Amino acid sequence: MGFEQSPHEAAIYRRGNGGNALLVGVYVDDLVITGTKDAEVVTFKEEMKATFQMSDLGPLSFYLGIEVHQDDSGITLRQTAYAKRIVELAGLTDCNPALTPMEERLKLSHHSTTEEVDATQYRRLVGSLRYLTHTRPDLAFSVGYVSRFMQRPITEHQQAVKRIIHYVAGTLDHGLYYPRCPGKEWSIKASYINTKDQLADLLTKPLGRINVQFAPAKSQAPLGGAFLNAFGAIVLGAPIGIKYWAATTYWSLLMSLFTVVLNVSAIWTAIFGAAMDYMISAPAHGAVIGAWLGAWPMPLDWERPWQEWPISVTYGSVAGHLIGMAISLALIVAHKRRGRAKAD
């Protein structure tokens, strides 16, 4: 029939491309059929009926415990009935719903001395919750956390699982919604979370101290650089007096451009971090070469304004650094093209 098996999912078969694509999902003797055109779906059904004895159950509404609701606005996937069975399995039918699936700052350990619980029942509940995460990604972290303690669950682990089920009991109708109009604007409300209240997990590897507050960094860089350079200028012998303040501030602000470039480089490296060698070496060499070229034309003439030599060096470094960033981008593009050529 001209179908090709998906390289990503063995139970998915595809026929056609683009506007004439037809997808068929196979599970034992059940088929889930979808396509870009209704005519293609109808044609395939007729082909199957002519070859096999089969019945058409109409639009998909329930499949492997997943409830499918389709209307003009979109498609909703839920596991409400399955979630109710999990609550019943845990004996928590009349429990008080929880607002979150996990207690704040919860830390579980393998080395606790508390009493062990029924491992079979624990695994049954956790396994059921894992299947529920197919339509409930909000449970993924908490269920993944309690899944670490399948071998020897204890009372603390069981309490954490029950907390998840308390949350499920209050959110039985939650699921996934896929709108049919991708061009329509949707609004998402996010609750504020104070990062100061989030403590590190002792069971996980800590991350490095990386400042991701780009906006404050970009605003602080020129101000801090200007202050430090102005202070350094005065210490190194700049003329002191009200009439010199404007000139000293002006030159110091220009020198602080280099601190701005450093912040831009940090963002640049974060965006193109996959090619770290290019992103570090080319701008660094460009800054050194640019600083040398900026200083070279300046004669050792002490009668010239004291600011000209460091400013020319700074300008050279900034220009060399920016040129190095552009060169590094060109090297990345060339490297990727060469890699694609080898793959072909």
Question: What Cα–Cα distance (Å) separates residue 51 from each residue in 1, 58, 278?
Answer: 11, 19, 59
Q: Can you give the residue ranges of every domain in the chain? A: 4-58, 78-182, 214-343
Query: pLDDT band for position 281 (50/70/90)?
Result: low
* φ, ψ for residue 75, nearest 5 deg: -125, 130
What's the pLDDT score for residue 92? 92
Q: Give the list of residues 6+ apart from residue 11 with CB closer than 8 angstroms, or none.
A: 25, 26, 27
Nearest-angstrom CA–CA distance, 337 and 344? 11
Nearest-angstrom CA–CA distance, 336 and 202? 40
For the residues 16-20, what does the mean pLDDT come to? Answer: 78
Q: The dihedral of CA 293, 294, 297, 298: what is its sign?
A: negative
Nearest-angstrom CA–CA distance, 296 and 263? 27
**185, 191, 192, 194: CA torsion to nearest 10:** -140
Q: In angstroms, how far is the first alpha carbon of the chain from the final one?
A: 29
Name the token pair of 309.
């030599």
Of 226 and 162, more confident: 162
pLDDT tens, residue by residue, 246-255: 665 665 555 5
Sheet holding 12-15, edge to edge: 4-5, 12-15, 22-27, 30-35
> Which of 47-56, 145-154, 317-326 has the least mean pLDDT?
317-326
Contact present, 283 and 328 (Cβ < 8 Å):
yes
Average pLDDT, the chain: 73
Q: Which of 100, 35, 78 is nearest to 177 (CA)?
A: 78
Side-chain-facing half-sphere of 286: CA atoms under 13 Å: 20
> Looking at the predicted structure, is the pLDDT value of residue 154 above 80?
yes
Name the token pair of 44.
């395939």
pLDDT tens, residue by residue, 283-305: 655 655 555 555 544 444 444 45
Of 90 and 104, more confident: 90
Nearest-angstrom CA–CA distance, 217 and 210? 12
pTM for the full predicted model? 0.52
Q: How many Å separate Cα 114 from the centre of its chain?
A: 37
